[in-house]
Each structure stands twice: as structure tokens, then as C-alpha cells.
């Protein structure tokens, strides 16, 4: 039983494992759609733009769910919201198996989105408040690495289930993460800094008053840029690998696509962990700028490898993939630490939830935009759109303060 897992006795480590596992399983549920995308296009007769629209709906709803969960986490508790959001995305992923039309598919993936956004908001602030300033970046990096593990898990589950039992059984496996809530309910505690807080909590209006207003606007611009880049790229990577060369893809099978994505996400896993260490050692801003510039350079190159290398493209994609994952994903560890370090405890959940998920709402345009371009220029060429947003992120981070080693009790 999950309630009997022998995880560390330290409450900070239990909180970290809860958030990391929740985020890992969250990623799996969200990305089952990405790996089944070509199958679902065939079943429901979807264009690239329609398939991208489903992902966009997931992101829009994740933005709403994340912003709402941040406010509720300030008022009701981080642990309680973590439980609710895991249950939501698990049950909605299972509900996807019952889809009979484009509209019903859109509905269930929208509900998955509410859970996706809410889980990150609750989990990130839970970890940030349990861990000390000098280790917070590494702890958040470990939590964020759950996304890469979930991506790999989705690839493996898809390769095992989809060819044998079909897409409905594939999405039914998404119900299993709900079991994690049994352990969280019994073993995870609320952070002491939240329990001791008195007075009004979770007031969004406070985020737009001095001295928080400038932080809120700049942080929102930063998350918007980076999330546009990420979702435009990673929503379509499995589709790019499996799309035929006539559509600008690599023409790989589902099994090989899954294997190549596992290699790419292994690089992302290393990127998450490395970024946390680099951010604690050298600062949030220098580490982030380095990742952004590398991601901007690698993204268009990766999308053009099939055209450049021809029959040798699969080897090139396998070699370059981990580097795309490392630099194109690892920087996400920044947000759990930096956003927590910008806001005081009464509005920390609201601040993290709003700024991150407002960016996610706008980023919902990215999968559709890339799909729109893919219908005209091919999937590989369309991926290059993300580079401009990576570069914008490198500039925007310089406008926010350096928060390395900042104690949360000192934030005003």
C-alpha cells in the first residue's frame, strides 16, 4: 500500500517526495495525449490545428486551475490542495477513455488541465516552504524532475499499451495516480511557516499593489515567454518524430518515437537537477540565461535534422535529443524557487499560482500556432517558433531581482 511506503521520516523530505511523485504522475497523465496524438488524429479525423487545440484547451484550463489552487492553498493549506488536484487529473485522465467525439475529448482533456495547473501550484509552494534557502533550488529541481520522469513513464506506458490494447486502455491507466493521495493524506504535513501565519491570506488584489505589482507583472511576462517556448516545442516533439517526411517529420514508428523521447527526457531529468544546483551555487539569473540561450540555438537545429541528414536523421535525433531536453526543460526548476522568493507567506501561493499560470494561459496558443504552421511548412520547421520565446526569456529574467539564498521569512 502507498500508505506504507518507507520514505524519509523528515517532514521536508516527505513533502518533497509527495510533490515530486504528484508532478511525475501529473506529467504522465497529461502526456499520454501527446504520445497518442497521431492515433487520436486518425480515430477522430483531426487536423493538426484541431489536435493542437485540444492541447491548448488543457493549458488554458491548467492556467485557471493553477491560479485558483494558489489562492486556495494560501487559505486551505498546501497539502490539502495537493490531494484534491491529484484526484482531479487522475479521474479526468480515465474519463478520456470514454471520449466519442472531438468535443468530448476536448472536455476531458480540459479537466486534466485543471488538475495539472493546480498540482504544480500546491506542490511547488509546499516544497519551497519546507526547505531552507541554501537548498531550495536543489529541492525544487528534484521536484521538477518529476516531469521528466513522467514524460518517460508516459512514453513507456504508451509503447506497451497502445499497440496491444488501444488508446482507451491507455487512458484508463491514468486513474492509477489517485492512489498516491492515500499516502499524502497520512504522511505529509503542512509547512510550519504557513501554520503560524495570521491575518488575511490569498488576496489576489495584494499582488497588484506596491511593492508587489512590478514583481507580478515581470514574473508573468517571464513565465509567459518561457511557457510559449516550452509548449510549442514539447507538445509537438512526439508528433514530429512520428510524422512522415512529407509532413516535415522524421517518419519513426510509435515504439521508436517513445524510445527517442525517453532519451530526450533523460537529458531533461539531468537538466532539472543540474539547474537547481547551479542556481543555488551561482544565482538564479546566470543559470537561467545560460539555459535559455542554449535552448534557442538547439531547437531549430533539431527540427531540421531530417531535412539535413536524410536517412541518418534518426541517429542525429537520438544524439541531439538529450541536449534539447537538458536545456529546453531544465530551467523550469527556477520557477518553484524564484516565484516563492518574490512573495510573502500570506500571498505566496496566490503569487506563484497567478504568475505561473497566467503565463500558461497565454502559452495555450503555442500548440495551436505550431500546428497551424505545421499544416503549411511541416512540423520540423514549425518548431523553430520556440526559439524567439527562449531568447525573450533570457532578457526578461534580467529585470527581476536575484533571489539566491533569500529566506522566505524576510520577503516583504
Q: Tens of pLDDT along 160-217?
A: 999 999 999 999 999 988 889 889 988 898 888 888 876 667 688 889 988 899 999 9
- Range from 2-11, 175-184, 273-282, 364-373 carrying the lowest mean pLDDT: 2-11
Over 70: is that where the pLDDT of 371 sits? yes
CA-closest candidate to residue 158, choices 49, 269, 27, 251: 27
pLDDT number for residue 327: 95
How far, in whole angstroms, is CA 279 from its chain's centroid?
Answer: 19
Helix (H) or strand (E) holding 372: helix 365-377
Among 33-37, 174-178, 342-346, 374-378, which stretch is predicted with the lowest mean pLDDT?
374-378
Q: Rounded to whole angstroms, how far apart are CA atoms 276 and 404?
A: 11
Q: Give the model's confidence band at 5: pLDDT under 50 very low, under 70 low, under 90 confident, else very high.
A: very low
Selection from 389, 390, 365 nearest residue 49 by Cα: 365
Please say if the pLDDT value at position 1 is more than 60.
Answer: no
Asked if residue 343 has pLDDT above 70, the reply is yes
Please give the Cα distance from 226 to 234 (Å, whole number): 12
Q: Which domains does the chain have, with CATH numbers?
A: 8-190+204-410 (1.20.1250.20)
45: buried, middle or exposed (CB in 10 Å: 19+, 13-18, 0-12)?
exposed
Kindly give the residue spans of alpha helices, DSSP state H, lying in 3-135. Answer: 11-35, 37-44, 48-76, 78-96, 102-130
| Predicted pLDDT of residue 202 | 67
d(CA 45, CA 168): 16
What whole-number percentage of the chain has pLDDT above 90?
Answer: 41
Residue 142 has pLDDT above 50, yes or no: yes
More confident of the two residues 143 and 409:
143
Q: Output the pTM of the full model.
A: 0.81
Amino acid at each position: 500500500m502507498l500508505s506504507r511506503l518507507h520514505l524519509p521520516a523528515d517532514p521536508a523530505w516527505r513533502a518533497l517526495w509527495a510533490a515530486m511523485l504528484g508532478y511525475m504522475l501529473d506529467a504522465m497523465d497529461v502526456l499520454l495525449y501527446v504520445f497518442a496524438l497521431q492515433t487520436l488524429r486518425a480515430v477522430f479525423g483531426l487536423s493538426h490545428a484541431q489536435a493542437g487545440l485540444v492541447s491548448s484547451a488543457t493549458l488554458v484550463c491548467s492556467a485557471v486551475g493553477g491560479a485558483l489552487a494558489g489562492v486556495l492553498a494560501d487559505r486551505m493549506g498546501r497539502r490539502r490542495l495537493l490531494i484534491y488536484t491529484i484526484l482531479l487529473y487522475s479521474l479526468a485522465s480515465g474519463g478520456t477513455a470514454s471520449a466519442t467525439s472531438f468535443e468530448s475529448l476536448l472536455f476531458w482533456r480540459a479537466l486534466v488541465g485543471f488538475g495539472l495547473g493546480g498540482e504544480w501550484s500546491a506542490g511547488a509552494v509546499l516544497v519551497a516552504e519546507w526547505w531552507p534557502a541554501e537548498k531550495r533550488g536543489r529541492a525544487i529541481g528534484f521536484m521538477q524532475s518529476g516531469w521528466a520522469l513522467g514524460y518517460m513513464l508516459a512514453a513507456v506506458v504508451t509503447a506497451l499499451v497502445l499497440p496491444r490494447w488501444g488508446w482507451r486502455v491507455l487512458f484508463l491507466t491514468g486513474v492509477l495516480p489517485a492512489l498516491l493521495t492515500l499516502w499524502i493524506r497520512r504522511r505529509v504535513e503542512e509547512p510550519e511557516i504557513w501554520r503560524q501565519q495570521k491575518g488575511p491570506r490569498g488576496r489576489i488584489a495584494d499582488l497588484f499593489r506596491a511593492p508587489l505589482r512590478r514583481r507580478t507583472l515581470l514574473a508573468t511576462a517571464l513565465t509567459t515567454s518561457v511557457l510559449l517556448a516550452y509548449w510549442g516545442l514539447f507538445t509537438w516533439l512526439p508528433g514530429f518524430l512520428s510524422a512522415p517526411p512529407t509532413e516535415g517529420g522524421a517518419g519513426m514508428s510509435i515504439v521508436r518515437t517513445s524510445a527517442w523521447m525517453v532519451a530526450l527526457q533523460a537529458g531533461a531529468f539531468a537538466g532539472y537537477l543540474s539547474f537547481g544546483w547551479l542556481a543555488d551555487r551561482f544565482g538564479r539569473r546566470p543559470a537561467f540565461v545560460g539555459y535559455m540561450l542554449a535552448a534557442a540555438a538547439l531547437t531549430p537545429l533539431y527540427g531540421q535534422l531530417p531535412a539535413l541528414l536524410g536517412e541518418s536523421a534518426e541517429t542525429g535525433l537520438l544524439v541531439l535529443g538529450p541536449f534539447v531536453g537538458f536545456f529546453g526543460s531544465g530551467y523550469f526548476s527556477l520557477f518553484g524557487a524564484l516565484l516563492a522568493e518574490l512573495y510573502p507567506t500570506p500571498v505566496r501561493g496566490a503569487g506563484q499560482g497567478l504568475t505561473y499560470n497566467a503565463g500558461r494561459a497565454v502559452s495555450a496558443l503555442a500548440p495551436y500556432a505550431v500546428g497551424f504552421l505545421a499544416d503549411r511548412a511541416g512540423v520540423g520547421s514549425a518548431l523553430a517558433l520556440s526559439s524567439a520565446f527562449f531568447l525573450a526569456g533570457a532578457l526578461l529574467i534580467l529585470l527581476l531581482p536575484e533571489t539566491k539564498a533569500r529566506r522566505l521569512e524576510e520577503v516583504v
